């Protein structure tokens, strides 16, 4: 399931975050790449101990906690603190699949990456190239979203970032361990939740809503892992 979630960040706070990121101390992104990914990676990242990473990352997590669409789609159990990257002057990241397990910085904890997320800070017309290309069983999907929008997709997907040939592409990226591990099960739960929400608006007094809501929660109970 590939899903776009618009307007995750409020406009004024988005502008403030963007301004801070433009002045940030960017470093060679290959420092965080594994022995295979390092050959494909040519971008910049903020060091994980940079105070800006925690400041903006905490704000993103706060916004996500108040975003019903994100919660309904991801069913998050754990969210790895966001990281930040910059692509410019031909910066790119070739085809790769994200790691299955990530350590949570500063803790002994680890999370399983079920979902990957990219939150855009640059407007599409501010740079050329830089599309996030995600491959799945239905083909290739090219993603280039307005600032403040987020794309959510399975971490097991083959994906890449096309070279940026003009301007700069700023983004946050992070991973989610979901209550529901299987992507097809999450997709069915989201479709059922959407149907329940639509029926609630159209026929709020229908007794069938109670039954459908019960089916949703019993499926979630059956499929969830904590």
The annotation status of 201 as a binding-site residue, yes or no, is no
Gap between the Cα atoms of 214 and 203, Å rounded = 17
The H or E element that residue 103 is part of is strand 101-103
Q: What are phi and psi of 136, to 5 degrees?
A: -145, -170
How many residues in total does the chain contain? Answer: 226
96 marked among binding-site residues: yes
Q: How far is CA 58 from CA 51, 129, 172, 194, 208, in A?
A: 11, 29, 12, 28, 40
Write out the binding residues. Answer: 96, 98, 159, 169
Write out the binding residues for 2-oxoglutarate. Answer: 169
Write out the binding residues for Fe cation. Answer: 96, 98, 159
């Amino acid at each position: 399931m590939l899903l776009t979630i618009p307007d995750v960040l409020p406009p004024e706070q988005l502008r403030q975050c963007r301004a801070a990121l433009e002045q940030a101390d960017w470093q060679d992104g290959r420092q965080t790449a594994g022995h295979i990914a390092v050959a494909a990676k040519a971008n910049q990242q903020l060091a994980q101990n940079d105070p800006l990473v925690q400041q903006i990352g905490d704000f993103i997590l706060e916004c996500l906690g108040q975003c019903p669409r994100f919660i309904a789609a991801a069913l998050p159990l754990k969210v790895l603190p966001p990281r930040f990257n910059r692509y410019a002057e031909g910066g790119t990241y070739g085809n790769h699949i994200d790691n299955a397990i990530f350590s949570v910085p500063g803790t002994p904890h680890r999370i399983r990456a079920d979902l990957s997320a990219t939150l855009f800070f640059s407007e599409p017309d501010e740079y050329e190239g830089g599309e996030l290309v995600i491959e799945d069983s239905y083909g290739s999907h090219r993603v280039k979203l307005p600032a403040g929008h987020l794309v959510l997709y399975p971490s097991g997907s083959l994906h890449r970032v096309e070279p940026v040939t003009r301007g700069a592409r700023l983004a946050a990226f992070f991973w989610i361990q979901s209550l529901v591990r299987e992507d097809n099960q999450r997709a069915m739960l989201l479709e059922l939740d959407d149907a329940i929400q639509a029926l609630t608006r159209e026929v709020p007094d229908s007794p069938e809503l109670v039954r459908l809501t019960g089916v949703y929660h019993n499926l979630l109970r059956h499929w969830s892992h904590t």
